[in-house]
Amino acid sequence: MVTYIGSKSVLVLLLLQLVGCAAIEDGQLIDRGGWLVRREFLPHSKDGNKKIELFWTKPASDGPYPALLLIHGHQEQVRNGGEAFVKTGRLGILARQGYVAASLSQPGYGNSDGPPDYCGPFTQDAALVALDFLRKQPFMNPNKVALYGYSRGAIVASMVATRDPKLAAVVLGAGAYDFFSWYPTPLRGIDANIRLEAGTSAEAFRARSAMYHAEKIKAPVLLLHGAQDERIPLRQAEAFFDKVRANSIAAKMKIFPGAAHGIPIDQQYSEIYPFLAEFLR
């Protein structure tokens, strides 16, 4: 049994905070905010022999609480998947604000079994498994679950939003929503990864392009994009925003004039927190 406690509750948590994220028991971690985080390994719905790594934490009392599932982008040097949100303390920050906070390791990242499929159906199915796990927890409000994805994570989250009509809100940062108009991309390295992991067939592109499935999205959408994005042009977000609104879905877009692909975190959450409060509270 795991007991969840805040950073001021016990001296040991404060000591562990000084060294960042530290293991204390199998399946448990302390994030940099001093919050106790649980690590789960879930069986993939399409292959029970492959595992999905999920990190999550919750406020101290019983709930029920709304939840936010975070999906990371591509990682090069340190491919630690969803643990990146543990190391930055983001899960603990969200838990302090009254959310069940979870982060997924995409297949091929962290300790999730791969190979990666560049945001394709296998990765999307992994996110659906994580959402189902969260909704079944006794401290959860299953009708108040939101999804956040950034870069690759936004591609995944946008497609999951077309497949999960129960989502309460979706936040998409610096994502691509139409592979047909994005490929070839501004960077050869991205093109190489797409060819390796997904291929360039019309079927592969359509399975990763939420633009062509937008009519299935039911949840309000917040789009975040840097005007100077060097990897995914701003027109990807603008076109998707128009498409979503054309289907009578509540949508908001925030363009950051000076930002490239990496929008500063504090600027992102100045938009995210009010959006979540509107649709999850």
pLDDT digit string (tens) for 59-112?
Answer: 998 889 999 999 999 999 999 999 999 999 999 999 999 999 999 999 999 999
Residues in Cβ contact with 220 at an 8 Å cutoff, skipping those fewer than 6 apart: 168, 169, 170, 249, 250, 251, 252, 275, 278, 279
> Containing domain of residue 224, as a range?
37-280
The end-to-end CA distance of the chain, in Å, is: 28
**Helix or strand (DSSP H, E) at 134:** helix 121-135
**Structural domain count, the chain:** 1
Instruction: Indicate whether 263 belongs to any domain.
Output: yes
Instruction: Indicate whether 30 belongs to any domain.
Output: no
Instruction: Indicate whether 15 belongs to any domain.
Output: no
Instruction: Indicate whether 260 belongs to any domain.
Output: yes
| pTM of the predicted model as reported, rounded to 2 decimal places | 0.92
Query: What is the pLDDT at residue 26?
Result: 64
Query: What is the pLDDT at residue 262?
Result: 98
Instruction: Indicate whether 198 belongs to any domain.
Output: yes
Band of pLDDT at residue 2, cut at 50, 70 and 90 = very low
Look at residue 278 and give its three-state secondary structure.
Answer: helix
- The position carrying tokens 């998409």 is 172
Residues in Cβ contact with 79 at an 8 Å cutoff, skipping those fewer than 6 apart: 108, 109, 110
Amino acid identity of 71? I
Helix, strand, coil % in the chain, rounded to nearest 5: 35, 25, 40
Query: What is the pLDDT at residue 33?
Result: 82
Residues in Cβ contact with 185 at an 8 Å cutoff, skipping those fewer than 6 apart: 176, 191, 194, 231, 232
Residues in Cβ contact with 180 at an 8 Å cutoff, skipping those fewer than 6 apart: 202, 205, 209
Instruction: Indicate whether 159 belongs to any domain.
Output: yes
| Beta-strand relationship, 28-30 and 36-44 | antiparallel
* 237-249: average pLDDT: 96
pLDDT one-digit tens code per residue, 197-236: 999 999 999 999 999 999 999 999 999 999 999 999 999 9
Band of pLDDT at residue 25, cut at 50, 70 and 90 = low
CATH number for position 213:
3.40.50.1820
Query: What is the pLDDT at residue 234?
Result: 98
Amino acid identity of 33? G
Measure Cα distances from 120 to 115, 141, 172, 280 in Å.
11, 28, 16, 28
Instruction: Indicate whether 216 belongs to any domain.
Output: yes
Query: What is the pLDDT at residue 108?
Result: 98
Q: Would you say the C-alpha torsion 182, 111, 147, 99 has a positive or negative sign?
A: negative
Query: What is the pLDDT at residue 18?
Result: 40
Percent of the chain clearing pLDDT 70 (strictly above): 91
Beta bridge partners of 41: 53
**Helix or strand (DSSP H, E) at 203:** helix 202-206
pLDDT one-digit tens code per residue, 145-181: 999 999 999 999 999 999 999 999 999 999 999 999 9
- CB-CB contact of 157 with 71 (8 Å): yes
Instruction: Indicate whether 81 belongs to any domain.
Output: yes
Nearest CA to 157 among 199, 119, 194? Answer: 119
- CB-CB contact of 129 with 44 (8 Å): yes
